[in-house]
Amino acid sequence: MSKIWKLTKARDGWKKKAKDRGAHARALRKELARIKADRDRKQKSIVQLKEELKSERSKMSISRPNKVALIYMVLSLFLVGRIGFRAISRVLSVLGSSLGFQKTPCAQTISNYIFRLSIAKTQAVFEKTGTISKNFTNESIWMLDLSIGLGAGKILSILSLDFKHHQQMNHAPTLQNVDCIAVSVAACWTGEAIAAFLKKVIGSVGGAPIAFLKDGGTDLAKALDLLNSEGIACQAIADISHVIANLFKHTYGEHPLFSTFISACGKVSKNLKQTVLACLAPPKVSTKARFMNLHRLVEWASLLLQHSSRGNAVTGSMLAKLRANLDQLPECKAFITLFLRDALPLLACQKILKKSGLSKKTYGLCKKLIANLPITSPIRNGFTEWAEKHLAISRSLKLGGTGMPISTDALESLFGVGKRFGTGQVKDADRIASRLPAFCGTFDHRDAENVVAISVAQQQIARGDGNSLIKQRRDVLSNPGKLETLALTIDRKNFQLIRGASCVT
């Protein structure tokens, strides 16, 4: 073969290979361009779909709440829902995604919110936010009472109630109708100490109230006497519940059948529990201030004895089992009848006076209710003496026609909820006192804004430098040898908040 033929043949093979490679490359370029164009279209479509989805979600979903809205929800769950701090945290963790919460507050944070609300309600934060302050002096009646917690401290609380409450409302005062003027904890409250604290509060709020509403405690009475002797005129109103309880205590406390009745109720309760007759067990009545609720026990005994009619009982019947567990209760029938004769009219009077206050009209209704009691009855005479004395006070305060508040139930209720909610197992008096102002009055979004306005420094100053019982328990109980450190906290200052004053301890 010639060289020309070989070159021609080699050239033809190269041309064919070049053409094949070119065709393949052009096909690849076209396919790649198509894929890129398709990818760009899909990316644009995805971006557009994301924008549309985001727009739809923003229209359908609830807007993400801010911190004020979160705090307002926390306050609502605690003050209205009456659930604990850990329960609130769990509820918010469940509802957080639906409500738009990024982070759920823990129990300690919620506790701080409540404490800061107490500070806000007793300090001048409201003035900064434009909230109108109420007149806590010449248009109010102050409720005073003492309560104990775990530890050496006793809590003194002062609540303010509008003296025209019964003219404006048709119900007894509640926690929503009162404001916390001051709360303080001390190891011992004497008449002198209470009087000194009241003078401090009067100076802080700018004047004394028209009257003080209190129970029959001698220390509180002595404190008001000291104020009167120093020129601070103050009327003293005795709480109706304590007055009636004292009347029954003095009348029936030494009754021959009283001890027998109390003992029989305890034995009946023991006998009926864990039996088929457990539904008939007596109600639980506190041994402290027993005569405040003794009527519940007496009414239960009266109803129970009605099931034991005269005549023989069939062996093995429910009546036979009941009679076998009544102990000496049937022997107390005379005491039960006499007590209910005096208690029922006075309880009806108490209900009227708590709802409408003491006035000429309500006293007239009460006189009709107690008209059937014997004229020589100490219950009737004691109630009449109290009513006429306080009716004169109501006339001096120009409340004889509208009704004068005569019950401290709102303050008792405050102590009750303060000890049950947000305290845990250790009922520290300082911790209880720090949250009492938060339960008083109403609240709205402005209160949540005030909570946000309270700084950590203000909170630390208000709480004071004393160790809580929870911290002491944690530091001492599991560390033998640290028992003597408890002596270092005996002289510490207790918790105290006064409306209008700076945060002091």
Tell me which of 491 and 260 has the higher pLDDT: 260
Q: Which of 13-27, 443-457, 477-491 has the largest mean confidence?
A: 443-457
Q: pLDDT band at 129, cuts 50/70/90? A: very low
Rounded to a whole number of angstroms, the CA Rg of the chain reads 37
Tens digit of pLDDT for each residue in 317-371?
888 888 888 888 999 999 999 999 999 999 999 999 999 999 999 999 999 999 9
Q: What pLDDT shows up at residue 362?
A: 92
Which tens digits make up the pLDDT trace of 406-460? 999 999 899 888 888 866 666 778 888 888 999 998 888 888 888 988 888 888 8
Q: What is the pLDDT of residues 168-212, one digit of tens each?
A: 888 899 999 999 999 998 888 899 999 999 999 998 888 889 899
Percent of the chain with pLDDT over 90: 30
Q: Name which of 55-59, 78-82, 85-89, 396-400 the model is least confident about.
A: 55-59
Structure tokens at 44: 């644009």
In sequence order, what are the residues at sequence separation of 6 or more whose Cβ sits closer than 8 angstroms to the Cβ of residue 90?
none
Residue 421 neighbours by CB distance under 10 Å? 18
The model's pTM is: 0.78
* Residue at 249: amino acid letter: K
User: What pLDDT does residue 130 have?
Assistant: 41
pLDDT higher than 50, residue 131: no
Could you list the beta-strand ranges (E) of 187-232. 211-214
Strands 211-214 and 496-498: unpaired
Dist. CA 157–CA 145, nearest whole Å: 6
Give exposure, 400-413, as e/b (b: 16+ Cβ within 10 Å): bebbbbbbbbbbbe
The predicted structure's pLDDT at residue 275: 87
Pull the structure tokens for residue 424: 């845990």
pLDDT for 247: 92
| Amino acid occupying residue 432 | I
Residue-wise pLDDT tens digits, 67-94: 888 899 999 999 988 888 899 999 988 8
* Most confident of the following: 6-15, 50-59, 101-110, 469-478: 101-110
Q: 3-class SS at 156?
A: strand
**381 band by pLDDT with thresholds 50, 70 and 90:** very high
Q: What proportion of the chain, given as a percentage, has pLDDT over 70?
A: 87
167-171's contacts with Cβ under 8 Å and 24+ in sequence apart are 167/402, 167/403, 170/355, 170/356, 171/355
Look at strands 178-186 and 154-162 and give their pairing. Answer: antiparallel
